[in-house]
Amino acid sequence: MTQPLIDLATVLAGPVVPAARALLGCVITAGDIAVRLTEVEAYGGVGADPASHAHRGRTPRNAVMFGPPGRLYVYFTYGMHWCGNVTTGPSGQAAAVLLRAGEVITGHRSARVRRGVAAPDRDLARGPARLLVALGLDGGANGSSLLDGTGPASLSPPVAPVPPAAHRAGPRVGVALGSDTPWRFWLDGDPTVSPYRRSGPRRRPPVPPTDRPAG
């Protein structure tokens, strides 16, 4: 018996962890480029997840997380990178899934031009910043729908069902708090999954020495 393809609108309206798992194998398309998602990370809402942008409540930056499911939440990080998320859950309850990595399945030439490097295919969208660069998305896509065709990108179910046995779960990457929560999900053995680096507490930069004498 053939397993039915998922109903994205229904799945994304539910809890963030099942939604994150369901996004593995889904395809995000922008223009002539399509990327099959191979790695994602789930982030909860107010008070529930110290690693979430919404942990302390609604702000102008994270407002999209509180909106309807199936929207792109795009934020700028480290002063140089755009990262993209898919919102989940009902309106008013913030949660989102970070798109960490994927496989470019169409539009390789355009993706490579945007990346500006002679990267192998597996590296074109291997990492959250690279993924958005390959798709040509930035802050202008923030808040747009991935489901109704009105935004610059769209999300579609996997071409073929992804068996749960192919899923792997582990700690998240790049967060100071909640890094050990096993809410990073990826497709086992896929070469486009980004390398894992354990997160740790952020260290303050050392105080520069002063020529002023003590006392």
Q: How many CB atoms lie within 10 A of CB 178?
A: 18
Model confidence at 203, pLDDT cuts 50, 70, 90, reads: very low
pLDDT for the residue 1 = 35
* Higher pLDDT among residues 113 and 212, named by residue: 113
Closest CA to 139 of 26, 60, 66, 70: 60
pLDDT for the residue 139 = 96
pLDDT for the residue 116 = 85
**Once rounded to an integer, what is the mean pLDDT over residues 72-80?**
90
Does residue 195 form part of some domain?
no
27-53 pLDDT, tens per residue? 999 999 999 999 999 999 888 798 899
b/e for 53-86, b at 16 or more Cβ within 10 A? Answer: bbbeeeeeebebbbebbbbbbbbeeeeeebbbbb
Does residue 214 form part of some domain?
no
Does residue 2 form part of some domain?
no
**Taking the C-alpha atoms of 49, 52, 55 and 61 in order, what is their torsion angle to the nearest 10 degrees?**
-170
CATH number for 35: 3.10.300.10
Does residue 106 form part of some domain?
yes
- What does the mean pLDDT of the chain come to? 88
**Once rounded to an integer, what is the mean pLDDT over residues 55-79?**
93
Does residue 205 form part of some domain?
no
Domain count for the chain, please give it: 1
pLDDT for the residue 199 = 58
Distance CA 122, CA 125 (A): 7
Does residue 201 form part of some domain?
no
Give the type of residue at 35: V
Does residue 155 form part of some domain?
yes
Does residue 76 form part of some domain?
yes
Say if residue 2's pLDDT is above 50: no
Q: What is the pTM assigned to this prediction? A: 0.88
Quote the domain boundaries for residue 91. Answer: 14-187
